[in-house]
Amino acid sequence: MLGNLRFTNVRLILIFSLALLSQESLSKPWASELFCKSFPDSPACSGANISCAYCHQGQPPELNSFGKCLKTSLHEENADFPSDSGDLQHFIASIGSKDCDHDGFSNLREIELGSLPGSLSSTPRTSSCEKGSGGSKACSSDPDYVYKKVWFDVCGEPPSYSDFLKFKNLKAEAKSEAIDEQLDSCMNSNYWRGKDGVIWEIGHYKIRPVGSVKAGEDPGVLPIVDYYADFNLFVYSQIDDHDARELLLADYTVTRTIAANNRTVYTKIAPQRLLDGQVMQPERRVGLLTTFWNLSFYLNYTGIARVLVAQAFNAYLGVSLAQMQGLNPPDPEESSFRDYDSKGVT
C-alpha cells in the first residue's frame, strides 16, 4: 500500500514537471544582463540591469505585450532566445517601430527613454521643451544667468554692475568665452581654494578637525597638534590638475602661502621626517591616513588601529564597520569575538 502511494506521488510529480517543461517560456536568467549589453545607453540600465517587468507580466514566465511581440519575432525566424547581444538587438530592432502596449510610443522609443515597452501605464517622460515652452527660457541656456551663477557659486560674490553690463552687451560666442575666463579666475580665488574656502570645507568630513586642541596657526584652548597640513594636502590634491589619488598616496607635505596678488599658493615639499611636522617615516606614509593629526586623534596609544581604520573606511569608502560592512565578507570562523590586544576585552 505504502509502495503504491509513493509510486503514485512520483508519477504525479513527473507529469507536473513535464507539463511545465512543455510550456514555452522566455524567462531567461541572463536576459536582463544581455539586454543592457545590447542597449547600454538606456536609462533603465543606468547602474543596474533591467527588471523582469520589461518582458513579463507579474511573475515569469507570464509574458506582457512586449514579451509576446518579441516571442512572435523569434518564431518568425524559427529562432531560440538569443544568447548574444547582437542577436538580441536584431530581434528587438525588428519590432522597434511597433507599439506593443498601445500607449502611443514605439518600443524602441520607450527603451531609449527608459519606460516599459510592455506596460500601458509606463510612458516616456517628455519635458516641456518637447511640447513647446511657450516663450519660457527654462529649456534654453541663459548666458546672463550662467555668468552671475559662476560669480555667486565659485567666486562667492556677485559681479559688479558695470561688469555685468559689459558682459550683457557681448555677442553669444564672446559671452561663452567670457564665462570660461571668469570661471578660471574664480577657481583661483581664495573663496574657492583658500583657507576655509569651498574645497577646504569639503575636506572637513575626512579630516575631522577639532578646534579646541588645534596647535600652530589659530590655536585652540589646549593646543596639542596641528591639522592645517592635512587641509593643505587635501586642497593641493584637488586643484591644478593634480592627481586626486595623492590624497591617500602622498609621502610629502604641502605648505600654504599668500602671494603678492593675495592668491593662496600651495607648494609641495619633499618629505623630511619631523622637520616637516610629520612623525611617520616617509616610506610608510600613505597620504592623510598617516599624518600626525590622524595618528594622534584616531590611533593615539591603542595597540590595534580600530578607530583609525573605521574612520578611513567611512570617510573614503562610505563603508561602516559598525554595521559589519567591509571590503570582503568575513569568514565566520575568523570573525568571532577575540581579544586582539590582550587587554581582557574582546
Residues 253-309 have pLDDT tens digits of 999 999 988 999 999 999 999 888 898 999 999 999 999 999 988 887 677 778 888
Alpha-carbon distance of 115 to 107, in angstroms, equals: 9
Other C-beta atoms lying within 10 Å of the C-beta of residue 285: 19
Q: Model-level pTM greater than 0.85?
A: no
Give yes or no for a cis peptide into 61 (omega within 30° of 0). Answer: yes
| Single-letter amino acid code for the residue at 141 | S
Q: What is the pLDDT of residue 28?
A: 55
Inter-residue contact 55 to 66 (CB < 8 Å): yes
User: Is residue 103 pLDDT above 80, yes or no?
Assistant: yes
Inter-residue contact 96 to 103 (CB < 8 Å): no
In the predicted model, what is the mean pLDDT of residues 135-154?
83
| Single-letter amino acid code for the residue at 147 | Y
Alpha-carbon distance of 143 to 186, in angstroms, equals: 17
User: Is residue 242 pLDDT above 90, yes or no?
Assistant: yes
User: Is residue 162 pLDDT above 70, yes or no?
Assistant: yes
Nearest to 250 by CA among 207, 283, 227, 276: 283
Strand runs (DSSP E) across the chain, as ranges? 253-258, 264-269
Burial label for 30, CB within 10 Å (0-12, 13-18, 19+), is exposed
Q: What is the pLDDT of residue 175?
A: 95
pLDDT level of residue 245 (50, 70, 90 thresholds) = very high
Inter-residue contact 190 to 166 (CB < 8 Å): no
